[in-house]
Structure 1
Amino acid sequence: MRAVRYHGREDIRVDDIPEPVCGSGQVKIKPAFVGICGSDLHEYMGGPHAVPQSPHPITGEKLPTTLGHEFSGVIEEVGVDVTDLKVGDKVAVKPNLSDGSAGGLSDHIVVDRKHAILLPESMPLDIGALIEPLSVAWHAVNRSPLQKGDTALVVGAGPIGLAIVQVLRARDIETIIVVEVSKRRREFAATFGASHVLNPIDVDAVSEIRSITGDVKGVAIAFECSGVQAGLDTAMAGTRVRGTTVILSLWEKKPVLDAFAVVLGEKHIAGAVVYEEGDFEGVIWAIESGKLQPRSMITSTILMEEIVEKGFKALIHEKDNHIKILVDISA
């Protein structure tokens, strides 16, 4: 079968590998749509989070490894002891742990039953591929002490920052301030429900945030999604006394934190990565209820054989024009 595999820095190939066999307690899935994630780009460019050459101490993962962890598909076989899913069911896959032997960017994949999350029959499979990245945002908002009526700041309007905006709007947050240097991404943020969009090159973002929030001089919750020092500084300075900053971004170098400001402002810092039990289901419910309407996140759909030129290179050289590029494997 075909599989998109990462062999090393800027070396991604469509290989022919053996088709996996469905075992007891497992399901075999035909992937339909697969999203390209920021972590995939880090690997492609050989960043600090790239897959190691030696086997991972927990998963045994080593190169080459099949890519694709944001995906939907249709069950084509169920293993012994699986009684609550059937052939033909639509699923999204929750990829909490992988051994690298298979990923969503392949013609077939086998996963343990617990990783296959049933999708409503009415949900299109391309929308199903957005469940995973939206669950990252859903989890990050859950990690914060967000309350009804709070004000929120999102620094960095890449795919995850824009997902945060949507989740905040789904939680009925009215004041959502986005700070982003890219004009196109600021437009995306406004489309997805940001109440205020600031360009930190043109304005003093922190002063503007304090003006918008009035007497409290800062937002209740900030979400740092930029991965750059200036973004972290804005998030921290943009929160009010005893406010919380949730950091989601992957950092290429260790940032500097102003501990003095944290102490004087009695501020809180939290980290958020991936998701936990209930997050996928929460996102599915929000989409079905109409609180999340993420279709506009899909800015391009390509074929497996186009993944380098129209996928990875497009996200590197035309990143401001894209939120989520999906690979269509449904044919």
Structure 2
Amino acid sequence: MRAARFHARGDVRVDDVPEPATTPGTVKVEVEWCGICGTDLHEYLEGPIFAPTQEAPHPLTGEGAPIVLGHEFAGVVAELGDGVTDLRVGDRVVVEPYIVCGRCDACQQGRYNVCATLGFVGLSGGGGGFSQHVVAERRWIHPLGELGTDVGALVEPLAVAYHAVRLSGAQPSHSAVVFGAGPIGLVTTASLKAVGVEEVIVVEPARARKEKAHGAGADHVLDPRETDVVEAVAELTKGRRADVSFECAGIDQVLATAIRSTRAGGTCVNVAIWGHEATVAMNDLVFNEVAVRGSLAYCDDHTDTIALIADGKVDPYQFITGRIGLDDIVEKGFRELIDNKEENVKILVSP
């Protein structure tokens, strides 16, 4: 079968690879759509970052580059392994792309998303969504019901946002401020509105992304180049500042502003993956008893995320800005997102 594999920095190729076989308790999925994630772009531009190498293979898969990319994918059940009786061939499904040990303290707590040796299908070996077929354990297969597989490919990034919103403790009566209207900031905004948060403020300087923030449900959009964000948030919230805030950019100044925009006793959730050590003004936390919480990926969030889409509380189609075939993944996928990132949110690939 054909698959897009990461070989080295700047080197992603479409190769012929063996089709994976089912084993007891697993499901073979014929991939129909897979989204290109910012993590994939970072691997292409700066990797290997999360991708294992031959010198340092992943501890659970034993694999190193070249590895198949793609972790935001959905498709139809192609084959059932022995013992899987609650699915049928042809069912539309999305795969929660985890590789976990099941033995560490985090896994024993049920926090498998922070497994001590965490891996992702599409980043750590074990196949990936930029291929024709993927085999995964039944526990990671989530039925989509009547939803299409193009929407299914958006479940993974939406689950990232839903998980962050859930950890924040946001309530319908709350105000929230989201810093950054890139893909994760936009789906975080949509998730906040989907769970009923009354007032959502987005902070974003780029014109195209500001427009997309309104479409995602933002009640107010602030340009940090034109306004003092902390003062503006305070004014919009009648002096309280936001109950919850979300840092989706991975920038020191943005984190500092997010903390100062959070009301006393509120929560600032860091959703971004940082490329450097963050600098935090601790007194901004201490003097207002603001809690800063990290949020990584998702954990038991796919079912609820699918329900939000099925119930019409989130419109995932607004985030799809392109659809391409596997042969065009580098030029019309990776390069398009890198060179025109403000115009794009999610490009889907059909393997």
**Runs of at least 5 residues in structure 1 that lack an aligned partner in the other structure:** none
2:289 maps to 266
CA contact (8 A) 1:67 1:105 kept: yes
SS across alignment from 2:6: strand
1:47 deviates by: 4.8
Output the amino acid matched with 1:123. Answer: L
1:110 maps to 135
CA contact (8 A) 1:175 1:195 kept: yes
Alignment partners' CA distance in 2, 1:49 and 1:236: 28
Equivalence map 1:1-331=2 (5 Å): 1-47=1-47, 49-53=49-53, 54-97=56-99, 98=121, 100-120=125-145, 122-216=146-240, 218-277=241-300, 279-329=301-351
CA contact (8 A) 1:31 1:72 kept: yes
CA contact (8 A) 1:47 1:252 kept: no
CA contact (8 A) 1:76 1:88 kept: yes
CA contact (8 A) 2:172 2:198 kept: no
1:236 deviates by: 0.6
1:147 deviates by: 1.8
Q: Spell out, residue by residue over 1:78-124, the C-alpha distance to the aligned partner (whole angstroms, 9 max, x if none).
A: 0100000110000000012145031111011111111111111x211
TM-score of the two chains, using structure 1 as the length reference: 0.96
CA contact (8 A) 1:181 1:199 kept: yes
SS across alignment from 1:12: strand
Q: Spell out, residue by residue over 1:44-95, the C-alpha distance to the aligned partner (whole angstroms, 9 max, x if none).
A: 1115734132212343231011001001100111010000011000000001
Q: Spell out, residue by residue over 1:146-194, the C-alpha distance to the aligned partner (whole angstroms, 9 max, x if none).
A: 1220000000111111001101111111210100111111100011110
Alignment partners' CA distance in 1, 2:207 and 2:50: 30
CA contact (8 A) 2:171 2:196 kept: no
Alignment partners' CA distance in 2, 1:162 and 1:51: 26
Alignment partners' CA distance in 2, 1:320 and 1:290: 26
Indicate how the Cα distance of structure 1 residues 26 and 288 shifts in structure 2: closer, same or farther if over 3 A, else same. Answer: same
**Runs of at least 5 residues in structure 2 that lack an aligned partner in the other structure:** 100-120
- The alignment yields a C-alpha RMSD, in angstroms, of 1.1
Alignment partners' CA distance in 2, 1:113 and 1:212: 47
Output the amino acid matched with 2:251. Answer: V
Alignment partners' CA distance in 1, 2:247 and 2:223: 15
CA contact (8 A) 1:8 1:46 kept: no
Output the amino acid matched with 1:109. Answer: V
Output the amino acid matched with 2:330. Answer: V
SS across alignment from 2:46: coil
CA contact (8 A) 1:3 1:66 kept: yes
TM-score of the two chains, using structure 2 as the length reference: 0.91
2:118 maps to none
Alignment partners' CA distance in 1, 2:282 and 2:48: 25
1:215 deviates by: 2.9
SS across alignment from 1:231: helix
CA contact (8 A) 1:42 1:50 kept: no
Output the amino acid matched with 1:160. Answer: I
